[in-house]
Amino acid sequence: MKRILMTATLVGGLALAMAPAVAQTIDGQVTKIDASAQKITIKHGPIKKFDMDEGHTMVFRAQDPAMLKAVKPGDKIKFEADKINGQFTVIRIEKSK
């Protein structure tokens, strides 16, 4: 019986570890765009997945440089970010309504 419980616990833990993380949409405002460096500066609220409980103004790399053409400084936005190769990276961005 102990062996079955240990196996079930191990399988359940592996399933959780392999499950994709739920994307978090973050509210923000574009403060600067540097298209040549593929960077965007965003004033944003908390980002739980990065253990940021308070808002910050940060520079992010743009995963797709074309997304930088969709926004301009001053725009209110919703975006998703991830840490890719050690860099905070915007993976999706859209203007807020």
Residue 87 falls inside a structural domain: yes
Does 9 fall in a domain?
no
Q: State the pTM of this model.
A: 0.75
Q: Is residue 2 part of a domain?
A: no
CATH of the domain at 75: 2.40.50.320
Residue 4 lies in a domain: no
Q: Flag whether 56 is in a domain.
A: yes
In a domain, 62, yes or no: yes
Per-residue pLDDT in tens (0 to 9) along the chain, 97 residues: 555 544 545 445 544 444 455 678 999 999 999 999 999 999 999 999 999 999 999 999 999 999 999 999 999 999 999 999 999 999 999 999 7
Cα(52)–Cα(5) distance, rounded to whole angstroms? Answer: 36
What type of residue sits at position 68? L
State the Cα–Cα distance between residues 10 and 3, nearest whole angstrom: 11
- The Cα–Cα gap between 59 and 32 comes to 9
Work out whether strand 87-95 and strand 56-62 pair parallel, antiparallel, or are unpaired: parallel
**What's the domain range around 87?**
23-95
